[in-house]
Amino acid sequence: MEKDKRKIYEVFQETSGLLTEQRNPRTMDLDTLSIREILERIHAEDRRVLDAVQAVLPDVEKAVEIYVETFKRGDRIFYVGAGTSGRLGVLDAAELPPTFGTRPWQVQGLIAGGYGALVRAVEGAEDLEEYGVEDLKERGVTARDFVIGLAASKRTPYVVGALKYARSIGAKTALITAIPKDQVDVQVDVLICPVVGPEVVTGSTRMKAGTAQKLILNMISTAAMIRMGKVYENLMVDLWATSYKLLARSVRVVMTVTGLEYKEAERLLEEAGGSVKVAIVMALAKVPREVAQQALEKADGFVRQALQILQKTT
């Protein structure tokens, strides 16, 4: 018990000066407000998140560049976090295959305590650096992979341990945290610090800090997918049609780009083997499936460039 008390005091000392643990002077009267007033106060604080994210876009850009380089080599991206941060990483990784046609192994989300922690808190899972190291080793992380840590207060041992290990083997690393840069002592290749200020409810980093992390993860993965040819104009053209909704969206995308009616677009999509990209190139360039596929390969998967290649050959 004495050992536990000493550890608690160490963490107390370590976290006392963190911005994420400070009280918000604009919300000191929360318990006196009406429901509408509480909502307005929360909304006013949430608006500050957008400015904080805007300020770190140059750093987000660096992360996207590494992400794209890693992906194009055929290597992997890992999100590593605990609690809310970990759940956000797992969520972003899980949404990429159906949206952009990535393979499940290409982007992986690791959460302290394992996937059971997605729905129920696993106490103490984030408290040891070794746990983060073990999870990366279990997945065979190499120097060619990219590890992105998510920690609202920058100090989560699980995340710190994973980032230290990743750097030790030569992997690229990034950290997304709500602490100012001059307070971060974790060594990474890219440090992204959206300073959102104290939370509406003191220490509840699932709120503004979590919102900032969600926005930044959306930006990183979406921008990376666009730069890898998975979007044509502003349409997702590499999605996996794994549900009726996505099957319908595939047909709609082909219709939107080509101007075909539903039945024609459906038939063309079947002829293209279910590939929205191939169907679009087939229709717009008026070429058979094999020619469309070859052009897309030459264009690294970009529909616009594939069409330009075929235009030059006609």
Q: Would you say 129 and 158 are in contact if contact means Cβ atoms under 8 Å apart?
A: yes
Tell me the backbone φ, ψ of residue 84, rounded to 5 degrees: -55, -45
Task: Identify which of 172, 173, 167, 176 has the alpha carbon closest to the alpha carbon of residue 211.
Answer: 176
The pLDDT score that the predictor gives to residue 1 is: 47
Domain ranges of the chain: 11-227, 231-313
Residue pLDDT tens, the chain, 314 long: 455 777 666 666 566 566 777 788 899 999 999 999 999 999 999 999 999 999 999 999 999 999 999 999 999 999 999 999 999 999 999 999 989 999 999 999 999 998 888 877 776 777 789 999 999 999 999 999 999 999 998 779 999 999 999 999 999 999 999 999 999 999 999 999 999 999 999 888 899 999 999 999 999 999 999 999 999 999 999 987 778 898 999 999 999 999 999 999 999 999 999 999 999 999 999 999 999 999 999 999 999 999 999 988 76
Give pLDDT, residue 117: 83
Assess contact for 182 and 50: CB atoms under 8 A: no
Residues in the chain: 314
Active site residues: 95, 126
* Distant-in-sequence, close-in-space partners of 177: CB < 8 Å, separation ≥ 6: 149, 150, 151, 152, 153, 154, 184, 191, 192, 193
Integer Rg of the chain from CA: 23
Return the pLDDT at 122.
72
pLDDT at 189: 98
Level-2 CATH architecture, domain 11-227: 3-Layer(aba) Sandwich (3.40)
Query: Yes or no: is domain 231-313 CATH 1.10.8.1080?
Result: yes
DSSP state of 52: H
